[in-house]
């Protein structure tokens, strides 16, 4: 499209609030990058309007009887952002901070992520506003099944395929699959991914996001003429993504100098014994109190002197306030949306190589795609096959992003968006407009 059409839409936001929106509103932060990429692609104004708006947004009440007999009504969301390239794909999170704007942004990110690694999915995301840590297992199951039944018309292997996300796991996916299957009167394993292996889950799925982060970090270091062996890495977030990334990087010879979770940050300039830290967390469920490292504030992990920083926790942790203090040469975004648009400009001026979230953490959805393929075919692969095929896709996608960045003289994030938007737009042009 022509630039003026995009500027006309953006001018609806008052200039003095634009920076605030980009820093605080996850959807506007995502769309700021989208707008830049769309301008460079000269995206048609009609397609711009289509791609800037989600296809479907569901807000539903989730009434549940608590163990004490009282009824609680939670709010649930499911957003299908774009399904032109295939079934919607995206996680479900249970968290008190879930909002429609966040879910919408995450659904859009999933759209671009799937297109970037060129797998045949569109983007979706869902969530329930609740505190799963304050629920019994029975209450959590009731919430899951009631939420599933409330969005069941959108779900299906050919329409919308959920996966685990914040505070959800294999067991929650098993409940969703069972609820959906009971309504359909036959077992439908391909309706969700991230399931237990025993019921159609894929080998390698749990480690996939962290493995993808390890692969692209290795490629980025090589790009800068550095070796993964001996590279100093700090990781914010020690959940599934952060802990697996730390473990795999350490096994490849990297020195993990710091990790953190909600309870504490840990720092050891000579390197942490990741296996020992993992054992501590398995036994105590948090990093706090670990005796073989210095305790530091969680946010300090991002600004330590190191070669690679991996923000693997939540959105908006790298902002205009702390971006000037980041010393790492590479940022690998294990989390979704960890860097604000305002921080991007600072990082680019500092010459920091950013592996954007829609590339860095795409390993999870890639192996979810493998799981979906295996479920539908009824034939399952060994773990070496899964990991080999994941590596092939991640390396190819990294190479494409770097190539686009050089060709168009843009940073890696905008290059990633350009590739993704170009692929989604191409599908819309081929399919035409149903009216």
Active site residues: 125
Quote the radius of gyration of the chain (alpha carbons, Å).
21
Strand locations in 169-223 (E): none
Q: Is the distance from CB of 293 to CB of 256 less than 8 angstroms?
A: no
> From CA 163, how far away is CA 273, in angstroms rounded?
31
3-class state of residue 263 by DSSP: coil
Gap between the Cα atoms of 413 and 358, Å rounded: 8
CB atoms within 10 A of CB 139: 18
Residue in the structure block whose two tokens are 């390239």: 85
Give the separation between CA 248 and CA 246, rounded to whole angstroms: 6
Listed in sequence order, the residues at least 6 apart from 293 whose beta carbon sits closer than 8 Å to its beta carbon are: 266, 267, 268, 272, 277
Question: CB of 170 within 8 A of CB of 196?
Answer: yes
List the alpha helices (DSSP H) in 42-81.
45-51
Specify the 3-state DSSP secondary structure of 47: helix
Rounded CA-CA distance 252/267 in Å is 20
Locate 10 and state its tokens.
């953006």
Residues facing residue 94 across a β-bridge: 128
What's the CA gap between 376 and 157, in Å, rounded?
8
What tokens does 17 get?
């609030």
Measured distance CA(363)–CA(222) in Å, rounded: 19
Euclidean distance between CA atoms 110 and 126, whole angstroms: 11
105: left (phi over 0), alpha (psi -120 to 50) or beta: alpha
Among candidate residues 132, 49, 121, the one with its CA nearest the CA of residue 88: 121
Enumerate residues 6+ apart whose C-beta is below 8 A from 30: 105, 108, 109, 337
Distance separating alpha carbons of residues 289 and 272, to the nearest angstrom:
14
Contact yes or no for 204/390 (Cβ under 8 A):
yes
């Amino acid at each position: 499209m022509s630039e003026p059409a995009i500027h006309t839409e953006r001018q609806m936001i008052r200039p003095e609030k634009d920076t605030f929106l980009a820093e605080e509103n996850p959807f506007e932060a995502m769309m700021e990058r989208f707008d830049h990429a769309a301008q460079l692609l000269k995206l048609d104004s009609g397609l711009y309007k289509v791609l800037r708006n989600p296809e479907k947004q569901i807000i539903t009440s989730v009434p549940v009887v608590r163990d004490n007999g009282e009824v609680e009504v939670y709010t649930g969301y499911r957003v299908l952002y774009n399904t032109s390239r295939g079934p919607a794909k995206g996680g479900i999170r249970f968290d008190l901070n879930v909002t429609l704007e966040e879910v919408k942004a995450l659904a859009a990110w999933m759209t671009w992520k799937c297109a970037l690694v060129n797998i045949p999915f569109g983007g979706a995301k869902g969530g329930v506003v609740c505190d799963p840590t304050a629920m019994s297992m029975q209450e959590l199951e009731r919430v899951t099944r009631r939420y599933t039944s409330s969005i069941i018309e959108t779900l299906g292997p050919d329409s919308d395929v959920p996966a685990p996300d914040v505070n959800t796991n294999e067991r929650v996916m098993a409940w969703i699959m069972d609820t959906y299957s009971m309504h359909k009167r036959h077992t439908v394993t391909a309706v969700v991914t991230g399931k237990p292996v025993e019921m159609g889950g894929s080998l390698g799925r749990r480690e996939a996001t962290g493995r993808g982060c390890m692969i692209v970090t290795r490629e980025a270091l090589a790009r800068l003429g550095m070796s993964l062996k001996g590279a100093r890495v700090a990781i914010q977030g020690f959940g599934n993504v952060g802990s697996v990334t730390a473990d795999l990087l350490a096994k490849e010879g990297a020195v993990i100098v710091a990790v953190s979770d909600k309870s504490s940050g840990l720092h050891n300039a000579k390197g942490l014994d990741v296996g020992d830290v993992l054992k501590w967390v398995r036994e105590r469920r948090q990093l706090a109190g670990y005796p073989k490292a210095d305790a530091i504030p969680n946010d300090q992990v991002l600004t330590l002197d190191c070669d690679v920083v991996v923000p693997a926790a939540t959105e908006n942790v790298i902002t205009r306030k702390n971006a000037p203090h980041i010393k790492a040469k590479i940022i690998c975004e294990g989390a979704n949306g960890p860097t604000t648009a305002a921080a991007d400009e600072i990082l680019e001026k500092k010459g920091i190589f950013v592996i954007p979230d829609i590339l860095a953490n795409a390993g999870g959805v890639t192996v979810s795609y493998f799981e979906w393929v295996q479920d539908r075919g009824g034939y399952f692969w060994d773990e070496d096959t899964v990991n080999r095929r994941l590596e092939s896709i991640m390396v190819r996608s990294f190479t494409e992003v770097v190539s686009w960045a050089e060709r168009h003289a843009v940073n890696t994030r905008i290059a990633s968006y350009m590739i993704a938007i170009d692929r989604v737009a191409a599908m819309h042009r081929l399919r035409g407009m149903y009216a």
